[in-house]
Amino acid sequence: MMNLFFVHWRRWKWFAGLIFFLFTLMMFPAPTMKIVYAGEVQLPEEVVRVDSEKELITELLAGMERHQSYFAFYYPGIAEDFERYHRKSSVYATFMDKLAAKNGYLMGIISGTCVSICGTRDRFVSFQFHYLTTVKQEKRIAKRVKAIARSCRRGRRVERIKKAYDYLLSHMKYDERYYSPYYAFTKGRGICMTYALAFQRIMQEMRIPCVYVKGKNHAWNMVKIGKVWYNVDATWDDANGGYRYFLKADKDFPGHKYSGSQWLSSLKRAKKSYHY
């Protein structure tokens, strides 16, 4: 009888131990643990993750179309990329040129900008922009520009460019009180940047390659005909009459000092002025 008791005890002993172990887990659960993987990137909620600088530029320009004032982006290596830009220029000129190459008008209506490399371990880049126009004003500009573009849609490229140029010369008057392109289309008044940005906006609507050039104390444009770029200055032609500064090569375009932009320098410029 005693031997039978020990046999049953050995069978139930392991079961009793299992019950006690489960009871202990229920009464005293193990503390929860957060698993942090090596290389995990932790960023503020407002930071947008993109795959590359190319995607960053696309997202940035889309936000600028909406006149968004603050942006923050991250992609692997973004801080190192922008540190290199900053070493070349404190205002990140090389990167800004990339934006201008995509949309010269948007870059032209920027009245102030701030670029910052943020964070410590997981660094990202923030952008702050201020604009010369409002979203409401841009909608009004777009409506007027579409009408102008429709009136200039016939003929060769050079003829269409001249029609748009003539529109500005006949509708604009130099006035130092107005600096936004909005006033070019609503009041017909403004300074050199007003003329140049208005021309830039019309060219973009007409899908004609155009560059807004901001030199030293003056602004004008460059347009592409064929494979080369020509200078145009609606402000000075409006002041002097005629087409002294229309579709000119650099040698025939006195008084215009270019900035040190590598991107502008890379454009293939006409060696001779255009004669139509």
Q: What per-residue confidence (pLDDT) applies to 18?
A: 45
pLDDT for 39 beyond 60: no
Averaged pLDDT for residues 122-148: 97
Residue 144 and residue 100 in one domain: no
Domain assignment present for residue 6? The answer is: no
Residue 105 backbone phi and psi in degrees, to 5: -65, -45
Q: Are 127 and 115 a contacting pair, CB within 8 Å? A: yes
Q: Are 210 and 223 a contacting pair, CB within 8 Å? A: yes
Domain assignment present for residue 127? The answer is: yes
Higher pLDDT, 137 or 14: 137
Q: Residues with Cβ < 8 Å from 243, sequence gap 6 or more? A: 237
- Tens-place pLDDT, residues 160-189: 999 999 999 999 999 999 999 999 999 999
pTM of the predicted structure, to 2 decimals: 0.82
Q: What per-residue confidence (pLDDT) applies to 19?
A: 53
**DSSP helix, strand, coil percent of the chain (3-state; round to 5):** 50, 20, 35
* Count of structural domains within the chain: 2
Domain assignment present for residue 166? The answer is: yes
Residue 107 and residue 218 in one domain: no
Q: What per-residue confidence (pLDDT) applies to 267?
A: 95
Residue 258 and residue 154 in one domain: yes
Domain assignment present for residue 34? The answer is: no
Where among 76, 106, 131 does a domain terminate? 131
Residue 241 and residue 127 in one domain: no
Residue 117 and residue 191 in one domain: no
pLDDT for 131 beyond 80: yes
> Quick one: tokens of 189?
């008044």
CATH number, residue 86: 3.30.110
Domain assignment present for residue 20? The answer is: no
**Measured distance CA(81)–CA(128) in Å, rounded:** 18
- Tens-place pLDDT, residues 179-223: 999 999 999 999 999 999 999 999 999 999 999 999 888 999 999
Domain that holds residue 242: 135-266
CATH number, residue 174: 3.10.620.30
Where among 131, 148, 176 does a domain terminate? 131
Residue 168 and residue 87 in one domain: no
Domain assignment present for residue 208? The answer is: yes
- 19-28, 128-137, 229-238: least confidently modelled range: 19-28
- Tens-place pLDDT, residues 49-71: 999 999 999 999 999 999 999 99
> Quick one: tokens of 117?
């490399």
Where among 131, 153, 184 does a domain terminate? 131
